[in-house]
Chain A
Amino acid sequence: MTLAYVEPDTVEEAVALLAEDEGSKVLAGGQSLMVLLRQGLVAPSRLVSLQRIPELGRIQVLPDGSLRVGCMATYREVAGRAGRLLPAVGDACRQVGPIPVQNVGTPGGSLCHNAPGADVPAALLALDAEAVVRSGAGERTIPLAGFFRGYFETVLEPAELLVGIHVPKPAAGATSAYVKFNFRLIDMAIVGVAVAFRWDGGVCRDVRIAVGGVAAVPFRAPAAEEALEGRALTADLVAEAGRLAATEREPVSDVHASAAYRRRVTPVIVKRALERAAGGGASDVPPALMLDVSSAPA
């Protein structure tokens, strides 16, 4: 049993290859796909690697101030380029697995893989991001709110390629944060909470809270968002928002934590994420995961 491997030079070629053989799998950083292949959990007929398409690695601020992240940009690159503009994304990218994974893995791949407990999907969901998707029929954008379908499943069609992620320009006074909770730093999140809002004279506006790790897909917590909308962040309100977020979905149980425990700690992580965002994104990301090779003195 052999696995074909191709490296197209253009997006058009890549999309054509996907359309030609629906058993193909797209290879970006490979940090999840290689594990699945090794364990026999996926058996694609062909790997379509994107590594020879340079435009897909681009990170650009568009004229309207929004951000476009190519699907081959790595966690490390995205954290470095977009971390200040979008603190939640920086927080998430700097906590994905160990450093080698951050150097090779991609936020684009993470969206398509949609593993429960992945960090970047929740962060991008809270930032109202969209997936930019190409196929033979052209390009379309899919808001992330409608992108995740179920366990390791998205709405992407087999012949569609996620070429990039589009994140709207943060409004004046905007802040965001992502807090990851797990027992071992390199693992997936047991609960990962991203929050984004903008300050408006001491109260929060446009509050968005996204929760990963708890259910099969990352989800927004509208009742919790509503509770904070237009209000100052008091301890009582924050606790109330946490409680509401914890009852938004039925949590999952796995070998890492029970559903009851996930529900029990969700309000704590919501609180920590709100505090972090309100504090302007203090640097309490575990130091071992912040080691930044690219900025090390030569």
Chain B
Amino acid sequence: MIGGRVPKLDAVDKVTGGMRYVADLDIPGLLVGKLVGSTVAHARIVSIDTSEAEKLPGVRAVITGRDMPESRYGQLISDQPFLPVDKVRYYGEPVVAIAAVDEPTAEQAARLVGVEYDELPTLADADRALAPDAALVHEEASPYDAVPMTRESPIPLRPPEPGTNLLFELTLNAGDVEQAMRRAVRVFEETYTVPMVAHAAMEPHAAAAEVDADGGITVWTGSQSPRRVHATLARYFDVPREQIRVIGLKPGGGFGARIGMILEPYCVALSRAAGAPVRIVLTRIETFQTIGGWLPGRFHFRTGVDAEGRMVAREVDIVWNAGAYAMTSPVACANAALVALGPYPAKHVSVRSRLVYTNLPAARPYRGLAATQGNWAAERHVDSVARALGADPLDFRLRHLLRAGDVMPWGEVNREVHLEECVRAAAAELGWGTSPVPAGRGRGIAAMWKFTLPGFFSEAEVVLHEDARVDVYTGAVDIGTGVQVVLAQVAAEVLAVPVERVAVHMADSEYGLEDSGASASRSAVYAGNATLEAATRVRDQLLDMAERELGIPAAQLALRDGRVAAAGSPPGSGVSVAQLLAGGGDLSAPGAFRGEVRTEQTPGAPTTWQFADWKFGACAVEVGVDRETGVVDVRRVVAAHDIGRVLNRLNVETQTEGSVVMGIGAAIYEQQVFDGAQLVNPTFMDYVMPTALEAPPEVVPVLLETGSGHGPFGSHGFGELPIIPVAAAIGNAVADATGVQVRDLPITAERVLLGLDEQ
């Protein structure tokens, strides 16, 4: 059961088109909601004229920021208005919302809205936004609240610096970097960059809401964090939580783009104003323009190497372009800064990671919360240092690699580190040093590590029925990860029933079960542990009942095929679940899990930072490069990870394939291109991401089952991991094949060819 290849419970629905997404809901009396976006990137709003739109037959409501609550929203920093009244901060920012009887009417009404802007200087570039005389994206930065992502989060969050565009800054100093650099025999200095990359989920963003005559609110959303949407909607509209029901539907892909409130507040406000249910489905262009991609940034490294060729000092200076609002970027800014150090603990370390407000659409978390960006920079830099020293990139890594018990620069010590096994496994599977590299090809490797904040949580409830059917209730949502079948497997394993007997009910606030949402590779671990606890309690109750019934101590009883009997007794003996529960009703129990720190802290450490879960892996790739055109062709990708314990092999393999192809997209094809602050490629024709035809011929998952995870049966969260080292491994392989060091993502054919021409 656990570790098997159990297909996703919704797989058939998804491939046959039977799946119901928000856009498919049939809600009686439903109106079409439409957002009117700003036509400039940065401006004061002088006036908004909605009178013509209101007169159009078929228009049921036209609202502006005056119809919205005055408070601002933020997952970490309360900086975001829904429909601003004073100024707009990015191109396409919604300023008016319309509800109409159909789409053509809503679109026509949108064209009738007149907004007068007084334009301000546009800040698209983070360095320019940091200049002392730069215009301010948020003049009112000081009154913003800063709320940590979790109570236990070690990230020192502060409100933004008033009077500047500096949104957040993380610094770390350990040892004496300057002295170490002076003593180093060689110092390597390099700069790497990453552009904004879109999530490009298949389903465009969508939400619907109905406010009834008594003020009761029902929301349908494809959110990744429907339980958080429930809590924040209540706070934002200042209504009791019991008055709101949020029904979480499975989204058509999330990848971080659906975390937090997005369209739900507009739908609620429109429905209130119109007195009818309202649904907003963004067009693809609106999705690209208003839902920012991952956090783009620039990394500057200095690495000091001693006479023995050891890296002894590392300085990292990062500038991130957050765009118009904070979203979860402060945590990304911190997380990725530590990732960017690379899993090679040097004694002397200096980190400065600055997050800057600009007029780009606000960057959002993206599969790994900026770990891919940090890893790209770190693992390209280390590779480049190794090559410059004439060392084999694998040997060089193995010599410096983090091992169990090493002290991190910030003072944390982890005694469960299986990174070396991952790196060796990836290299071995690719044939590193054992099989010859074919002509025109190159090989590259990259290690990865990532941390998860403590304090996230999940709740579940398990119900065992008389007929040995099981219902699992959870606040979690399955955004395509397959967590739903994993929860079914966990309950089925504990209660010894076939997985088909388990129904998993997800993400409806009516269940009253909390969940932090689908992020940070957490659902299978957190909701899994909660389900495991609940199911175990149910089993224990059942065994207690059987003990009384059979007169055999519970400890000697086992559950099998819907019966409880003495362990090792022949099939059909003992008592059936139906007999035990007859007349007494169902058995049910709750379960909960909160992520806790499992590492140690060293005395006298420079910080008190500790994380709930560390994850490790490595990626090794072989690429071909067309030397006449610069085109990079990824031939083989090996993804080796410490997964702790495989819960569902099919899930893990397909997650790996999807993650790797997504990583290849970021490595070679994808970037959101801005002219000033206006996106110039908001369609799938111009935003080029890999299709099935661009997938590599071979993706090989290597799954190390160390039992080191904090999830069910020793598992680690996995969904985000394989993407993280892909881009760096490809960049390193291109360097191996050609000698060309591409330091900017994506590794376009043009950049490679330019490098070849310069040789």
Contacts and interface: CB of A to CB of B under 8 A. Distances in A.
A35 B104 CA distance: 17
Contacts of A296: none
A256 B753 contact: no
A1 B106 CA distance: 11
Contacts of B693: 184-186, 286, 288-289
A187 B686 CA distance: 9
A257 B680 contact: no
B199 to A, nearest CB: 18
Contacts of B686: 254-256
A237 interface: no
Nearest to B107: A1
Interface string B684-699: 0110101101100000
A186 B673 CA distance: 20
A258 B749 CA distance: 11
Given A256-B688, A288-B693, A183 B631 contact: yes
Interface string A118-149: 00000000000000000000000000000000
A286 B757 CA distance: 27
Contacts of A35: 685
A261 B681 contact: no
Contacts of B749: 183, 261
Contacts of A1: 104, 108
A250 to B, nearest CB: 18
Contacts of B628: 265, 268
A256 B688 CA distance: 8
A268 B629 contact: yes
B629 A184 contact: no
B750 A257 contact: yes
A185 B691 CA distance: 9
Interface in B630-683: 631, 668-669, 673, 680-681, 683
A255 B694 contact: no
A132 to B, nearest CB: 30
Interface residues of B, number: 23
Contacts of B11: none
Contacts of A183: 631, 668-669, 688, 749
Interface in B269-288: 285
Interface string A179-205: 001011111000000000000000000
A295 interface: no
A52 interface: no
A187 B749 CA distance: 15
Contacts of B108: 1
B694 A265 contact: no
B103 to A, nearest CB: 11
Interface string A18-45: 0000000000000000010001000000
A256 B750 CA distance: 10
A261 B691 contact: no
Nearest to A35: B685
B685 A265 contact: no
B688 A264 contact: no
Chain A: number of interface residues, binned into ranges = 20 to 34
Given A186-B693, A255-B681, A261 B753 contact: yes
B631 A186 contact: no
A39 B690 CA distance: 23
B683 A181 contact: no
Task: Specify which of B668, B683, B688, B750 lies most central, judged by the most chain A CB atoms within 10 Å of its CB.
Answer: B750
A258 B753 CA distance: 12
A268 B750 CA distance: 14
A39 B683 contact: yes
B750 A258 contact: yes
Given A39-B683, A255-B673, A187 B688 contact: yes
Interface in A38-83: 39
A185 B693 CA distance: 7
A35 B685 CA distance: 10
Contacts of B690: 184
Contacts of A255: 673, 680-681, 686, 688
A79 B545 CA distance: 74
Contacts of B685: 35, 187
Nearest to B694: A184
Contact of B753 (A39, A98, A185, A264): A264
Task: Specify which of B680, B749, B757 lies most central, judged by the most chain A CB atoms within 10 Å of its CB.
Answer: B749
A98 B629 CA distance: 23
B349 to A, nearest CB: 38
Contacts of B631: 183
B572 to A, nearest CB: 52
Contact of B629 (A185, A265, A288, A289): A265
A146 to B, nearest CB: 29
B285 A39 contact: yes
Interface string A160-171: 000000000000
A128 B693 CA distance: 33
A123 B631 CA distance: 24
B289 to A, nearest CB: 13
Contacts of B688: 183-184, 187, 255-256
A39 B685 CA distance: 12
Interface in A246-298: 254-258, 260-261, 264-265, 268, 286, 288-289
Nearest to A2: B104
B286 to A, nearest CB: 12
Contact of A186 (B104, B669, B691): B691
B705 to A, nearest CB: 35
Interface in B737-759: 749-750, 753, 757
Contacts of B691: 98, 184-186
A187 B685 CA distance: 7
Contacts of A261: 749-750, 753
B669 A184 contact: yes
Nearest to B668: A183
Task: Specify which of A98, A256, A260, A288 lies most central, judged by the most chain B CB atoms within 10 Å of its CB.
Answer: A256
B85 to A, nearest CB: 28
A256 B693 CA distance: 18
A34 to B, nearest CB: 13
Contacts of A181: 629
B523 to A, nearest CB: 32
A260 B631 CA distance: 16
Contacts of B753: 261, 264-265
Interface of A: 1, 35, 39, 98, 181, 183-187, 254-258, 260-261, 264-265, 268, 286, 288-289
Given A187-B688, A255-B673, A265-B629, 6 more contacts: A1-B104, A184-B688, A255-B688, A261-B753, A268-B628, A289-B693
23 contacts: A39-B683, A181-B629, A183-B631, A183-B668, A184-B669, A184-B688, A184-B690, A184-B691, A184-B693, A184-B694, A185-B693, A187-B685, A254-B686, A255-B680, A255-B686, A255-B688, A256-B686, A257-B750, A265-B628, A265-B629, A265-B753, A286-B693, A288-B693
In the A-B complex, the 5 residue pairs with the closest CB atoms: A261-B750, A268-B628, A185-B693, A255-B681, A288-B693
